Structure 1
Amino acid sequence: MFHPELRLLRSFAAIAAEGSVTRAAERLNLTQPTVSGQLKELEQAIGQPLFHRTTRSITLTACGTRLLPLVDTLLAQSEVLRHEVEAMQVAGRTQFRLGAAMYTMDIPERIALLDAFSADYPQIDFSFDNRLQSAQIPDLLHDRLDVSVLLGISAPWQGPDASATTIYNETQYPEVLERVVLRRQPMALLVPRASPLAALDIVPRVALHGERIAMLNHEHGSAVTDPIEAFFAGCGADAVIPAEGNALAVERYADRHAMCAVGIGWFPLPPGLVSRPVEGMDFFLDFAVVLGTGANRAARQFFAFAQRWQAARAAGAACAA
């Protein structure tokens, strides 16, 4: 009784399509002796030769001609079966990995979104990756992390061969990654309470001439830091970049030295500082759900839920207004 083996049938179909054992082997990423051996094994199992062989060509026999369309159909159906099984396996995954840096843990949108998702999808579990965002972004791009909630802005990406320092930054991520923005927070100037600037509702640009202003360091990404530095340089201010240049450290530095600072607006202020808008200053950071390139089905369900959740919030805010 004949029991067809797919590996033998694939070699037979490849030889028929290529008209050459050597080219069939290249097509299948096998060695020529392996393909020849598989053809011989298939012919022995059938009891009939499937090809006429000469030094210059290899052509189907009558038996081979009769079998080829049946083999092609069977191989096509095997691919359909493989895809269906893989889809069933993916559908069965009920866990995903969520990137969320520790400093985002108290952001209200993060808390509310995760609570709402857990209530609506109790069968789906997720584990946290609490590393810095600069460590999460490469994993989102290379199928090692399903989805993240990121505090920052999207920026142009030059592709996988670009220098890592141009894109893998703390508040800058590639715009090629699909995202849904949960909140956009304007940046402002943090001013010492005792400063005359604190009495102003909006700080005019000319009032910043000669002011020392603590800035975020360049690890946040040039798309974030360069426009800010250029803006304040245009105001005649003097930029100061502390040794520890993350947002929280910059605010503490400014409070300790009674000087102004760039405030990102996402965290409670030190007691000695107040936030003031500046004339013409238009910078912001988003809090967004960002989907990885290799996100599994459970992560995509979370992302779709975040889209619906945010759309409902936006509609509610519009009605309230």
Structure 2
Amino acid sequence: MIPATLHQLKVFETAARHGSFTKAAAELSITQPTVSGQIKQLTQTIGMPLFEHIGRKLYLTEAGTELLSTCQNVFEQLDNFEMKLAALQGAKRGQLRLGVITTTKYFVPRILGEFCQSYPNIDVSLQVINHQKLHDRMADNKDDLYILSNLPGDLEVHSEAFLDNPLVVVARADHPLANKKNIPIAALEGVDFISREMGSGTRRAVEKLFGENDVSVQVRLELGSNEAIKQAIAGGLGISVLSRHTLITEPPNGELTVLDVKHFPIKREWYVAHLAGKQLSVIAAAFLEFMLKSSQTTIENSSRRSLALQA
């Protein structure tokens, strides 16, 4: 066992994460020479260089990359130990790191709100991003749990479905197809359409369905925000396909309506997932259990109003 101190390992991990001694010093509230000194001592202890400077950039060596992975595992285990110790002492505190796709912002905060009533002393880090960025975070093991609708095919994960995620056709309330029943999907041929951005799971699902039914729409806009899409629909720029959960905040008989188009809704599910083999912290495990047990009731109470939008 190399005689390195935890402080040296923490300084190294922070510098490696930022790729900068200066930024590491700022995060740790120490001086840049102190960072350099700690890294120098750690390098001498290990007997191999951990960083290399190329131009003005700082890169990890092979030994540095291996040490970074080891440090991350060590600190994760220490964090988990602190939370377990707090649980044994009757205190519910710790950190919960969640990565979720953008559409979940319509219901995840409600679930978190109820959970935090039981765990008022936890710190929550919530990353709200699209599927592609979420995949990258998952591959780097940056969070405890992930909430998404498309499971990655190239990563080994443990996942559980906890909620339906129907995708529906949304139009302005005065659209010519509004209030009609059993609209054939072919009726969408050539319509002005507002699409989600590349990398969106909703976009992939819609393109797959349209392709299977030889339907070609006229994409007028590509937007990365569900709220922006709803505003564009209300502005008369076209129709779109959105998760029904995005309509939770819409008033009944408002500007938007759901079209009764055949082959819709597209049936999907929300999953909560984590990397296979990952040891969940006490707080993460508690949140996972809470979500699986109570999310359906929480979201149903919030989404009753959106059902009135169905044509």
* TM-score, scaled to structure 1: 0.52
Aligned partner (choices 94, 116, 119) of residue 118 of structure 1: 116
The answer for the alignment partner of 2:281 in structure 1 is 296
Q: Distance in 1 between matches of 2:79 and 2:229?
A: 49
**Shift in alpha-carbon separation, 1:245–1:203, aligned structure 2, 3 A:** farther
User: In the TM superposition, what is the alpha-carbon distance from 1:137 to its structure 2 partner?
Assistant: 4.2
Write the deviation string for residues 104-159 of structure 1: whole angstroms up to 9, x where unpaired.
68635641x3344334445x5132234425544433443321224x3x41334224
Equivalent position SS for 2:149: strand
Equivalent position SS for 2:157: coil
Aligned partner (choices 124, 128, 132) of residue 129 of structure 2: 132
> Is contact 1:104-1:110 (8 Å) kept?
no
Write the deviation string for residues 207-253 of structure 1: whole angstroms up to 9, x where unpaired.
223323222222214xx423412433525342405243433323323
> Is contact 2:184-2:261 (8 Å) kept?
yes
> Is contact 1:212-1:237 (8 Å) kept?
no
**Shift in alpha-carbon separation, 1:198–1:298, aligned structure 2, 3 A:** same
Write the deviation string for residues 22-79 of structure 1: whole angstroms up to 9, x where unpaired.
xxxxxxxx99xxxxxxxxxxxxxxxxxxxxxxxxxxxxxxxxxxxxxxxxxxxxxxxx
> Is contact 1:212-1:239 (8 Å) kept?
yes
Q: Distance in 2 between matches of 1:133 and 1:210?
A: 27
Q: Distance in 2 between matches of 1:283 and 1:89?
A: 44
The answer for the alignment partner of 2:200 in structure 1 is 220
The answer for the alignment partner of 1:249 in structure 2 is 228
For 2:159, the aligned partner's letter is E
The answer for the alignment partner of 2:95 in structure 1 is 96
Aligned partner (choices 212, 225, 232) of residue 210 of structure 2: 232
Q: Distance in 2 between matches of 1:259 and 1:213?
A: 5
Q: Which runs of 5+ in 1 are unaligned?
A: 1-5, 8-29, 32-83, 160-174, 315-321
Please report the RMSD computed on the Cα atoms of aligned residues, expressed in angstroms. 4.0
**Shift in alpha-carbon separation, 1:141–1:91, aligned structure 2, 3 A:** farther
**Shift in alpha-carbon separation, 1:105–1:204, aligned structure 2, 3 A:** closer
Equivalent position SS for 1:114: helix
Write the deviation string for residues 246-270 of structure 1: whole angstroms up to 9, x where unpaired.
3332332333234222222222459
> Is contact 2:157-2:274 (8 Å) kept?
no
Q: Distance in 1 between matches of 2:79 and 2:99?
A: 29
Equivalent position SS for 1:198: coil
Aligned partner (choices 175, 186, 189) of residue 206 of structure 1: 186
> Is contact 2:191-2:217 (8 Å) kept?
yes
> Is contact 2:164-2:269 (8 Å) kept?
yes
The alignment status of 1:197 with 2:190, answered yes or no, reads no
The answer for the alignment partner of 2:245 in structure 1 is 266
The alignment status of 1:155 with 2:135, answered yes or no, reads no
Q: Which runs of 5+ in 2 are unaligned?
A: 3-45, 48-76, 87-92, 300-311
Residue identity over aligned pairs, in percent, reads 15
The answer for the alignment partner of 2:55 in structure 1 is none
User: In the TM superposition, what is the alpha-carbon distance from 1:311 to its structure 2 partner?
Assistant: 8.0
> Is contact 2:102-2:128 (8 Å) kept?
no
Q: Distance in 2 between matches of 1:305 and 1:205?
A: 39
User: In the TM superposition, what is the alpha-carbon distance from 1:200 to its structure 2 partner?
Assistant: 0.7
* TM-score, scaled to structure 2: 0.54
For 1:280, the aligned partner's letter is H
Equivalent position SS for 2:230: helix
